[in-house]
A and B are shown apart, each in its own frame.
Chain A
Amino acid sequence: MDFYNTDYYTNRELSWVRFNARVLSEAKDKEIELFERLKFLSITASNLDEFFMVRVASLKDMVHAGYNKKDIAGLKAGEQLNLLYPVLHDFVKDQYSCYRMLAKECQKKGLVMVERHEDLKAEDGEFVDRYFTDHVYPVLTPMAVDSSRPFPLIKNKSLNICALLVKKGKDPSKEKHLEFATVQVPSVLPRLVKLEDKDGQQRVIRLEEVIERNMHRLFLNYDVLGSAPFQIMRNADLTIEEEEAEDLLKEIEKQIRKRQWGEAIRLEVEKGIDKRLLKTLKQELAISDEDIYEIDGPLDLTFLMKVYGLEGFDGYRHSSPAPSEVPQIPAGSDVFAAIRAGDILLHHPYQSFRPVVDFIRQAAEDPDVLAIKQTLYRVSGNSPIVRALAEAAENGKQVSVLVELKARFDEENNIGWARMLEKAGCHVIYGLVGLKTHCKIALVVRREEDGIRRYVHLGTGNYNDATARLYTDMGLLTCSESVGEDATAVFNMLSGYSEPLGWNELSLAPLWLKKRLLKLIRRETAAARAGRQSGIRAKMNSLCDPDVIAALYEASAAGVKIDLLVRGICCLKVGIKGVSENIRVYSIVGNYLEHGRIFVFENDCEPEVYLASADWMPRNLERRVEIMFPLREPALKQRVIHILDMQFADNVKKHTLLSGGEYRKEKIGKNENRLSCQELFEEEARRMTEKRKGKKASRRFIPRSHIDE
């Protein structure tokens, strides 16, 4: 049986679009607070922008480079694009029907989004015209196109308005008198202009409408025959370093110079745009029909994030409870003492990220701490961890930080604080040649009475206190000798020393993790064949490594029951006869972004539980430094298994992958109780804290040992 048969695999891009559709389904879900739905719709829009900018652009690059290799599903780049075009056009239509529905709902709840400037009442018109004169007009740069002025360079991703002009007194019916002009909607001004409240309703209008209404004032000697907003996307600024593009661009590394820089890959125009304007745009941008999207509604829906942030409407937003305290480490307590008492599992965002920050902060101040070593991938601006690391170095501790600068979007931000760390005396390693360091590990070496003790934090998510409130992740705090030894070896390797002779607990990518993973899967396969208990349950963000998928198919064929929670891309197909009948794939899209990686192998009734920083993607397993670590404490294993149990039992936010490749959202059965795992975990975390507090209830005052920020 050839488990690599391309028929058994879903194309990665199509699977991604289905993921975005699941996010969109949240926007459509009437059970969800209205403003949360606006947020989800906004997220689908920014997701899609990124998808175009990176994935579609890369595929186009491959076509231009004449690259013919097929993907996991047996498709060449051009074939993938041809499959994608209709899917993407349909998706956009779906987005806008959702938008119209939500806009109506908003109106019912007291928020009027004025769609067109033509709909403005006279007094509102005066107001926006004044706003235009005072704030907008001074920053506009209208540009006309004629024989002496070439078509201007339209900035990537910028929102623009094009206009068809005719000089006053000239005959507009003669084509030679028509002129094309364009003006960029200034990104420095807020996209939403608030109108005066009316009848208790808040009202807003988009900036481009305000400009369109005043278009004639930009071209005084002309008549404006028509105007329309448009937005283009180019394939500029894309490098192999790009997180989401590397698998494609790596393939055409040598031909990469053949890429057409700055080529427009998507044009969005308002539906009903003057045919003559569209024709000019099409010509000047050299863009083909399948890349043009006629939008029935406002361009660039990411402005909905601004709507989400409007004051009032609190009842229409989801109020997440503050993260619960970690019962073993209440605020102000000694993190190291708590870890010595036993391994501690952290479940974010239900549980506070604060113990992790305190771990570094207390290490920085602790006179017995000799060294702190940490990897930093994406940290928040003004990160308390970065500050603590700098402080530790100033306190004379040896601080080594591996900063991964290739993490997109926050590169500039990263360089700034990395320099700051260096100035403070930290040893900063700016990544490894050819590899990105994606693992999340922190090591504190402490000199104690009975000798050196090493404290380690290992996590599935970044050391980012901001995203730790939005992403679901897990972490482990331990001072186990064997993990400490491995952690030391990890940092020695990251510092350029030779690999250790062996590992106790950790599996590292790119050298060992994938092999270990395949071994674990095959052990289940062998168990199933031998008639022993077998089973694999795993949760991750994406699944698209062909070797892993093939191993899973083989396991399934041997009778191993496999349950997967794959939030995003999944190239594995379920329900193929003799191949994947024993595999079930689910996806949870909820208020918090599911981010943790948890793998459980049945291991003949002695389940092994692993947490990891890596998805089952080639890039994670082969081009990243990643860590997978086991949980050894039975109680912690049990807790993680319970967490998985509850996720699989979710009947509110869970989608099920069907054999056709579509996803079906779970519905609560007649005799079923509602179970939303994210809500449940919030509740459980709270109960854990209360239980602990109840136990320790005492009537003494507790002096603070340090000032909270």
Chain B
Amino acid sequence: MADKKETPRLFAAMDVGSFELCMKIFEISSGGMRQIEYIRQRLALGTDSYVSKKISLPKMEELFRILQEFKDVMRSYHIKEYRAYGTSALRETENTEILLDQIRNRSGIKLDILSNSEQRFLDYKAIAASGKQFDEIIAEGTAIVDIGGGSIQLSLFDKGRLVITQSLKLGVLRLLERLTAIKPRSSQVEAVLDEMIDGQLHVFRKMYLKEREVKNLIVMDDYLSAHFRKAVAGTSEKNVVKAEDFLRFAEAIAPEGSEELAERLELPEESVPMLKISAGIMKRVVRSFSAEALWAPGATLCDGIAYEYAEGKHLKSAARDFEADILACASTISRRYMGSRKRAAAMEQIALAIFDGMRKVHGMGERERLLLRLSAILHDCGKFINLTNVGDCSYSIIMNTEMIGLSHLEREMVASVVKFNHEDFEYFEDLSAHSDISEEAYLTIAKLTAILRIANALDKSQKQKVKEISAVMREDRLLLTVDAGADLLFEQERVRARADFFEEVYGIRPEICRK
């Protein structure tokens, strides 16, 4: 394979953002990704949808037109594979489905909506893909500040692992809209902006930062990072800027007139308000976290989309174990709600043994395996609120917690599995009455619930008696061979009680035998 010249694949990534549409075309080969087109067109969809939950007709027409043009460009490169994603501006519309259908019919582009956590995960992948510098930076306490139109996402790293990620509704366009509504005098703008940002930032710091030290900030945005080097000229190396230099720059531009600033930084005047707000946000974050340095890798969502595509096609080996980040985040959440790490680990071990032993039967893949692990980790978070109603409380906590890398549906699946581990299982008819979950997802929930229930039963005493476990299929039985340090009478009884549901789902009965 190394000898034969490999013809690179062309791939287009489209991002229908809240103030800009952009498309990047990449050439992807095992040698890497090479960007060959980067087209951007301003279209502030967010100013419509954040306010009215709808997108006005003229903007829709413009959207169709631009997407059609993107398609033409794609066609000129004979590109067949693309991914097109909409983010917060489209996500926040009331009639999203209708919109997507119209877009498909009018422009021929199949557009999908990314949930915030999926979008941020792709952003994160784009950043992580920018190479060695990333690994070096996150070795110390680091936060990613991903500034979007509708919200910003703060993600914290601890010892090289992503541990917390939280979205705050402090997006550039949203703040701009609010500023416009407040109509402050130009001398007041800065103070008003600081107030808007500080409140939310303060809460975040109190809740998550605590003793954590954040030395480095990684910035991802469309305005500031693009002009980072120019903006803080002379002081930056490899796009890393010292915090004090950045603060000086941010202070300097705040009162500067649009025209002069545009002229000085060589950017279009219309971008100046966004740049100022971006800089204002970063200024508050730097101060609040007492960060020492800022890094702007210049990555965009489109890079993340292409990265994921390449990963999926096995054209690129993962720059990083992203699953480990997702699991680390889940552990942090579990810890926040005083979940037992030991118990979670025990349940995870048992559940995975069952999952792996039954691969031929259940037909589920790696993604479902991840969901199962997450369910195990988060299985009892609800008890933080109420010991007698753990299932419902856990469901609510998970549904209201950002889980990076998961789509909304996946999050709901995890929440449901955790819930039904405690509560009675709801069949599709009942479930679909209050959720728009698909049949396919429902089946996965049932399968994962059955496994998690057995795992739960096997550690019912919460004493982590199971040292080792293996699962083997024997005709219509699942033999769970357990090496336990103590007797398992209580657990065996619980497994028997829960085996009915397992049998119902898989047509197989689990049986425990001691080693």
Contact = CB atoms under 8 A, between A and B. Distances in A.
B78 A449 contact: no
Interface string A504-516: 0000000110010
B36 interface: yes
Interface residues of A, number: 26
A380 interface: no
A500 B38 contact: yes
Given A451-B27, A452-B27, A498 B77 contact: no
A398 B75 contact: yes
Contact of A398 (B7, B40, B72, B268): B72
Nearest to A489: B38
Interface string A486-504: 0011001001111111100
Contacts of A447: 77-78
A450 to B, nearest CB: 7
B77 A452 contact: yes
Nearest to B222: A501
B36 A452 contact: yes
B282 to A, nearest CB: 18
A371 interface: yes
Contact of A450 (B8, B20, B36, B76): B8
B78 A492 contact: no
B34 A488 contact: no
A484 to B, nearest CB: 9
B29 A498 contact: no
B76 A398 contact: yes
A370 B8 contact: no
Contacts of B37: 488, 492
A503 to B, nearest CB: 10
A445 interface: yes
Contacts, number: 54
Contact of A488 (B7, B36, B268, B298): B36
Interface residues of B, number: 26
A498 B268 contact: yes
Interface in A433-489: 445, 447, 449-452, 485, 488-489
Contacts of A451: 7-8, 27, 29, 34
A485 B41 CA distance: 18
A475 to B, nearest CB: 24
Contacts of A495: 69
B387 to A, nearest CB: 55
Contact of B39 (A497, A502, A515): A497
A370 B76 contact: yes
A512 B267 CA distance: 10
Contacts of A489: 38
A449 B7 contact: yes
Contact of A498 (B8, B27, B40): B40
Contact of A370 (B42, B77, B226, B227): B77
Given A370-B76, A398-B76, A447-B78, A499 B27 contact: no
A371 B76 contact: yes
Contacts of B72: 398, 427
Contacts of B69: 495
A331 B34 CA distance: 34
Given A447-B78, A451-B29, A452-B77, A498 B5 contact: no
B266 interface: yes
A496 B8 contact: no
A445 B8 contact: no
B266 A512 contact: yes
Interface in A407-428: 427
A497 B34 contact: no
Contacts of B38: 489, 500
11 contacts: A447-B78, A451-B7, A451-B29, A452-B8, A452-B77, A492-B39, A497-B39, A498-B20, A498-B41, A498-B268, A501-B298
Interface of A: 370-371, 397-398, 427, 445, 447, 449-452, 485, 488-489, 492, 495-502, 511-512, 515
Q: Which 6 A-B pairs have the closest CB atoms?
A: A398-B76, A498-B40, A451-B8, A501-B226, A371-B76, A451-B27
